[in-house]
Structure 1
């Protein structure tokens, strides 16, 4: 029942009859109750919320698609750096062990500290690699789901749209995003 209510609230996000307060939460201003319909609402009335939501969801969706190559490159570079650091630490440990086998004393503590620092650096680089990848995968899944849900809701009301987006970038950061939205079959 709770999952169905969440789906119904997604219809309300697009409607101008949506109201909300702290006691009830989101409710219909026509019935003064939470959404209560089976598949679609007969009383839904679209306004700027629809255009805003379509634009918002499609921009997030397109940004995630654009980031894919960058994120995988970032992952590979940091993974290689991390593995190289582990290999360097291993070789450095062998080298220090050979030197320390000939002598003893203070250098043992210093060498151990250096190796621990190198291992920490390798683990941090590994965290950067997987952190970026996991964030991208999470965002991608969420944005795909949001777009599919929006498109499914609009299909129920026989609404189609054409969305065009243009990114003007500077050093892989969009500084200007231009969108063009044309909604078809919209009954206001």
Structure 2
């Protein structure tokens, strides 16, 4: 599927004339063909798919924006913990080896094992820090691109909307999201 077809299918996601089957894929129920138009479709007919898509895209976009400060604080905390563990391992290496050599006579094997465990813990903490940051950055880019793409398509059809959202309950996992959507069809060019 080429890039132009993908863009055309984005228009079809909002239309009530969209149909699909396994042989053809997504097609227009008016023409029984895959979407094939330049710029915008003059036969597009919006229904609840439009409201659903606007709501879904804007909720994802707002959630990502809302999570930003928590993700960066999570990153900083786990990064500091990881660096502290590396520093602790570096500083305590000789101390652990000296204590174990006096106690058991086998300092190299046991000390090496303890040091490797500390390093593994530090690496896991570092993974948590960068994993959360990378996931947020990926989601943020995807959700921003989705919103811009939707807004661009709606602008072609002279549709504007007001979207209000309020999150209730927990910060990172809201259980109650209230939305208000007002769609405006502009008749002016």
Q: Distance in 2 between matches of 1:92 and 1:59?
A: 48
Distance apart, 1:95 and its partner CA: 1.3
5 Å-filtered alignment, 1:65-84, equals 65-84=65-84
- The answer on whether the counterparts of 2:100 and 2:107 sit within 8 Å (CA) in structure 1 is yes
Distance apart, 1:184 and its partner CA: 0.3
TM-score relative to the length of structure 2: 0.94
Q: Distance in 1 between matches of 2:122 and 2:175?
A: 34
Larger RCO (CA within 8 A; separation ≥ 6)? 1
Name the structure 1 match of 2:184: 184
Distance apart, 1:97 and its partner CA: 3.7
Q: Distance in 2 between matches of 1:32 and 1:140?
A: 36
Is it true that 1:43 corresponds to 2:43 in the alignment? yes
Q: Please give the secondary structure, in 2, of the residue aligned with 1:173.
A: coil
Name the structure 2 match of 1:27: 27
Name the structure 1 match of 2:2: 2
Name the structure 2 match of 1:175: 175
Aligned length: 187
Q: Show structure 2 runs of 5+ residues with no match.
A: none
The Cα offsets for residues 93-144 of structure 1, whole Å up to 9 and x where unpaired, read as: 1212444676873232111111000000000000000000000000000000
Name the structure 2 match of 1:93: 93
Q: Distance in 1 between matches of 2:63 and 2:104?
A: 57
The Cα offsets for residues 11-55 of structure 1, whole Å up to 9 and x where unpaired, read as: 000000000001111000011110000100000000000000000
Distance apart, 1:66 and its partner CA: 0.1
- The answer on whether the counterparts of 2:78 and 2:126 sit within 8 Å (CA) in structure 1 is yes
Q: Show structure 1 runs of 5+ residues with no match.
A: none
Q: Please give the secondary structure, in 2, of the residue aligned with 1:35.
A: coil
Q: Distance in 1 between matches of 2:143 and 2:102?
A: 60
- The answer on whether the counterparts of 2:100 and 2:106 sit within 8 Å (CA) in structure 1 is no
Name the structure 2 match of 1:142: 142
Distance apart, 1:173 and its partner CA: 2.2
TM-score relative to the length of structure 1: 0.94
RMSD between aligned residues: 1.7
Q: Please give the secondary structure, in 1, of the residue aligned with 2:174.
A: strand
Q: Which shows bigger deviation, 12-21 or 103-112?
A: 103-112
Name the structure 1 match of 2:165: 165
